[in-house]
Chains A and B, each alone.
Chain A
Amino acid sequence: MPQIFHRSTNLIARASIFGAVVIIGALGFGLYTIALSPWYTGQHEKLQQPVPFSHRHHAGELGIDCRYCHTSVEKSSFAGVPPTQTCMTCHSQIWTNASMLEPVRASYRNDTSLEWERVNALPDFVYFDHSIHVAKGIGCTTCHGQIAEMPLTERAGTLYMSWCLDCHRQPEKYVRPKSEVFNPFYEPPSAAKQEELGKKLVAEYHIHNKQFMQSCSTCHR
């Protein structure tokens, strides 16, 4: 009876066993890497906005307080996007002829809204409230990144649930004194000091225990 397969098939058969393990492993690793990559999550992506608004200039160089524009951040779930009138408080006086600001003036003239592209959009099944985070000593830059250094606004976090849980599982690593919440240049103290300070602040702010902070219904109501 003639041979059906060539001798080399033996080697291929053995190699394919290891090959399958390697390929499956590589596939899993590859998918996970893609899932975490900015290409997939949209992290650090600069969206096309009607006006190239610079947080670096306004919040960083000029030192305008976050709450001057995002007025409802302490009272509401939504931090608030400022109306054109807020822009015009200054821009009716300065840079009045800048062509870059024409959409702002047009919006003011025609009484239409500027349509900003949302940078941080959480899914609808997440109940997120800005006011509670601010009240419990979470600074703007903790989630929004170094906003005072962004000429164009980008999303700093992945918005994955693991990203939320990083802090919900150990808030003491992130909380800061109330006076520093709106400071865009705040530098947290060294790890050891932050731990000490964090524990004190967690107790002071009455932040819930870990079980509550990680419970499904805390965010998915």
Chain B
Amino acid sequence: MGSEGLRNRIGVGEPEPIIGPGHTFETVTDKISSIVLTRGTTPGWVFGFLIAFSLLMLLNLVVTLLMVKGVGIWGIRIPTAWGFAIVNFVWWIGIGHAGTLISAILLLLHQKWRTSINRFAEAMTIFAVMCAGMFPLLHMGRPWLFFYLMPYPNPMWLWPQFRSPLVWDVFAVSTYFTVSLLFWFVGMIPDLATLRDRAKNKASKIIYGMLSMGWRGSAVHWSRYETASLLLAGLATPLVVSVHTVVSFDFTIALVPGWHSTIFPPYFVAGAIYSGFAMVLTLAIPVRRIYHLEDLVTDRHLDIMAKVMLATGIIVAYGYVAETFMSFYGANEYERYMMMNRLVGPYAGLYWMLVACNIVLPQSLWSRRLRRNVAWLFFISLVVNVGMWLERFVIVVVSLSRDFVPSAWAMYYPTKWDWATYLGTFGLFFTLFYLFIRFLPMISIVEVRSLVHETNEEKTHS
């Protein structure tokens, strides 16, 4: 209640409620569970799902071709051995971070507004990490030997190279995926039990029944549920910072100008949360419109998320400025050349687009009126997604294409298969997301109910 006390003192007045008025336990449960149980499969859902599924089949095609022909179908050529695959890997994994931040850190900080968005933000995390995880595997050229990256007893007597950040990546990403999946699933158990109890047909009763693992809502169950959630939140919290730090090590441990920089870990983490919140907005705005959830995911939620984006965006901007400053201040000719190449070289257009997308346009979010303008917010969220993708492109490609020896320089051009792989992962992401909103409760019923309870309590006391 500290923040409210402060508000009263400085005279801001009562904050808007987090959820719309007039909700009871019954209406919350009805509203969320009916999307899964009684709404049925609508033509709109089928249409969207089919588009996503066709893109997934495109991914299937590309991966098959990749297995047959090798990574040569992509545009990667020496010196740019890391092309789209690594750009997309970093981009997707970054997007996941918002989900973990919302579900873990904000849970520990008792931020109540997280309750309506944490479930699908977590789902977004899991699907984004799946998309991200595919790229390094495909990029290896022989994906079927991916298990060489794990330390397992083998007849080669060989360990992975533990001094390589690429191996740290394997551990970071697999831990991230495991913890996120557990967190998401454990959080969903009471809701799955609700669906089980409300389901009408036998098949859904059995499926939700198995997924809810015998949940009866006894006091012991609740106590264990709370403990498990708290423990998993504690486990997930360092991951918000560590995963993207390790991803940034992929670059900073190398000596390539434009990669070898100490600012990378913090600004990668900020960038990850930045792009993650942009993606949450990109998903939340249409979903709440289509499923009429405006009183659960309110304008206040969008407003807060826009503020988080603004804050992390400024950290990212600081990162760019510091990088540019250090390149010139550091008096290293390769660093200086790299920066000039970024600013005015052959890829300069992309760099300035990135500045426009990540720094300039999001400044509009200082305006409360624009933060409340849903269409504008949706537009900005797309712009930031594009901007963050461009950032990774600039880091990976621009740095590699012109390294130390001019005779080794070469331009990098993505092929149609590069684009197809990227689009294909959108197919995977949205296919899973469509299935998620159709078959699982996309907002946490339990947590919103407890929010309703607390709001009503406060009302009766005041």
Contact = CB atoms under 8 A, between A and B. Distances in A.
A161 B158 contact: yes
A160 B209 contact: no
Interface stretch (B149-157, B310-318, B334-342): B149-157
B155 A158 contact: yes
Contacts of B156: 160-162
- Interface size class, chain B: 10 to 19
B214 A4 contact: no
The DSSP consensus for interface residues of chain A is helix
A81 interface: no
Nearest to B161: A216
B361 interface: no
Interface in A1-41: 1, 4-5, 9-10, 13, 28, 32, 35-36
Nearest to A214: B157
Given A5-B209, A10-B214, A165 B157 contact: yes
B155 A161 contact: yes
Nearest to B158: A161
Interface in B182-213: 196-197, 205-206, 209, 213
A13 B213 CA distance: 8
Interface string B133-157: 0000000000000000000111111
A158 B154 CA distance: 13
A160 B155 contact: yes
A36 B155 CA distance: 7
Interface residues of A, number: 16
Contacts of A165: 157
Contacts of A1: 197
A106 to B, nearest CB: 41
A14 to B, nearest CB: 10
Contacts of A13: 213-214
Given A1-B197, A10-B214, A13-B214, A162 B209 contact: no
Contacts of A36: 155
A114 B268 CA distance: 65
A163 B209 CA distance: 51
Q: Which of A4, A5, A163 has the most CB of B within 10 A?
A: A4
Interface of A: 1, 4-5, 9-10, 13, 28, 32, 35-36, 158, 160-163, 165
16 contacts: A1-B197, A4-B196, A4-B209, A13-B213, A32-B153, A35-B155, A36-B155, A158-B155, A160-B155, A161-B155, A161-B156, A162-B154, A162-B155, A162-B157, A163-B155, A165-B157
The 5 closest A-B pairs by CB, nearest first: A160-B155, A162-B157, A161-B156, A4-B209, A165-B157
